[in-house]
Amino acid sequence: PLILGIESTCDETGVALVRGTELLADVTATSMDEYARYGGIIPEIASRAHLESFLPTMHAALDAAGVELAEVDAIACAAGPGLIGSLTVGTAAAKALALATGKPLYGVNHILGHIAVDELVHGELPTPVIGLVVSGGHSSLLLVRDLARDVTELGGTLDDAAGEAFDKVGRLLSLPYPGGPHIDKLSQSGNPEAIRFPRGLSQPKDRERYPYDFSFSGLKTAVARHVESLGGNVEDQKADIAASFSEAVNDSLVDRAIRACVDHDCSVLVIGGGFSANSRLRALAAERAAEYGIEVRIPPIRYCTDNGAMIAALGSVLVRAGVAPSGIEFSNDSSMPLECASV
């Protein structure tokens, strides 16, 4: 089936075309450049940008794929989780298209899209598989028995998401927003063992009580204290702080993900979400998984951050699984549960 996918949960307007597990086109527009001076996303600006970008993005995607709207078998759009204003623009556009063309419409889960997109690169996912979604809003471990119908949330962050923690520490280190990619780059020239920052939930009793959860707020506070203790002399240590902080976050993520694989007898770990662009996460996951004979699948970086391909990919999974469409009247869900692939 040929699926048109629409992403608009945050600041990226994405439209993609997918046939089965083959990606035909993926076009993204972003309003991220507008937020550097605010140090964070402004929802009203993002909504307005979606409105302006949607049609040009869709036409560019159809052109790139060399298909007409009439050839599309189903339309998928992100129904949540995300910013309500951004979601509203994308889902309204998707509903209008579905009405005009008479095609079935699926309102899908953005977070599970971060997992589904891997199928476009590495082929169909095996089952069961452990999914680690790490992004600006989430750090979650999922047991995926069937992406369309059977996803269990094993655990997640008790406070900040990994990307969020990176963005906050980026601010502490006076790096441009969003800090994630800047810390990644900076940490490559630093010593990850220079400062021993705490690993959240690493005490035996916490490991027992929260086997698949994460906590990054204590770590963030530790970094803040360390920066304070240096007075004004942060510049010399910046790379070491970034590398040591990054190591602590990635150590926790990989530790829990491998544990979930072992406990649930899964030989494949799939990682997705904007934070999975992180170079240290990619290296550490590969290194530790190899020790356990676990295969790690991570999409190339351009499919880790938000895009239309991930939404089309999940739409394709649902259509192939015979899941009923959402219908035209569905509501967006800014806090859509991770266990629901569609509304």
Residue 10 within binding range of Mg ion, rule CB under 5 A = yes
Query: Which amino acid would we find at residue 25?
Result: A
Residue 82 within binding range of ligand ATP, rule CB under 6 A = yes
Residue 190 within binding range of ligand ATP, rule CB under 6 A = no
Min dist. Cβ of residue 278 to ligand ATP (A): 3
**Is 59 known as a binding-site position?**
no
Going residue by residue from 271 to 290, which x/- string records binding to Mg ion, judged by CB under 5 A?
A: --------------------
Min dist. Cβ of residue 274 to Fe ion (A): 6
Min dist. Cβ of residue 81 to ligand ATP (A): 6
Q: Is 256 exposed, middle or buried (0-12, 13-18, 19+ CB in 10 A)?
A: buried
- Pairing mode of beta strands 12-19, 22-30: antiparallel
Query: Which of 115, 241, 277, 338 contacts ligand ATP by CB under 6 A?
Result: 277
**Is 278 known as a binding-site position?**
yes
Residues of span 282-341 touching Fe ion by CB under 5 A: 306
Min dist. Cβ of residue 298 to Mg ion (A): 18
Q: Cis omega before residue 192 (within 30°)?
A: no
Residue 306 within binding range of Mg ion, rule CB under 5 A = yes
Min dist. Cβ of residue 102 to ligand ATP (A): 31
Nearer to ligand ATP, 81 or 131 (CB): 81
Q: Give the integer Cα–Cα distance in Å for 234 and 225.
A: 12
Q: Give the integer Cα–Cα distance in Å for 57 and 14.
A: 7
**Is 167 known as a binding-site position?**
yes
Query: Which of 95, 220, 306, 315 contacts ligand ATP by CB under 6 A?
Result: 306
- Which of Fe ion, Mg ion, ligand ATP, none does 278 bind, CB closer than 5 to 8 A by kind? ligand ATP
The token duo for 38 is: 């605010």
Nearer to Mg ion, 9 or 244 (CB): 9
Question: 3-state class of 117 per DSSP?
Answer: coil
Q: Are 272 and 304 in contact (CB under 8 A)?
A: yes
Query: Which amino acid would we find at residue 118?
Result: D
339 CB-near residues (< 8 Å, 6+ apart): 151, 152, 153
Among the listed residues 81, 105, 73, the one whose alpha carbon sits nearest the alpha carbon of residue 92: 105
**Is 155 known as a binding-site position?**
no
Nearer to Fe ion, 2 or 120 (CB): 120
**Is 267 known as a binding-site position?**
no
Q: Among the candidate windows 85-93, 177-185, 204-212, 313-321, which touches ligand ATP by CB under 6 A?
A: 177-185
**CA–CA distance from 89 to each of 50, 94, 189, 220, 306 (Å)?**
7, 9, 41, 34, 16
178 CB-near residues (< 8 Å, 6+ apart): 32, 136, 163, 166, 167, 170
Residue 214's DSSP bridge partners are 157
Q: Is 149 exposed, middle or buried (0-12, 13-18, 19+ CB in 10 A)?
A: middle
Residue 180 within binding range of ligand ATP, rule CB under 6 A = yes
Crossing angle (nearest 10°) for helices 279-291 and 238-263: 40
Q: Among the candidate windows 26-34, 162-170, 215-223, 225-233, which touches ligand ATP by CB under 6 A?
A: 162-170
Angle at 91 between CA 115 and CA 121, to 5 degrees: 25
Number of residues that bind Fe ion (CB under 5 A): 2
Please state the residue numbers annotated as binding site for substrate: 133-137, 167, 180, 184, 278
Footprint of Mg ion (CB under 5 A) = 10-11, 306
Footprint of Fe ion (CB under 5 A) = 135, 306
Footprint of ligand ATP (CB under 6 A) = 9-10, 81-82, 110, 135-138, 163-164, 166-167, 178, 180-181, 184, 273-275, 277-278, 305-306
Please state the residue numbers annotated as binding site: 110, 114, 133-137, 167, 180, 184, 278, 306
Please state the residue numbers annotated as binding site for Fe cation: 110, 114, 306
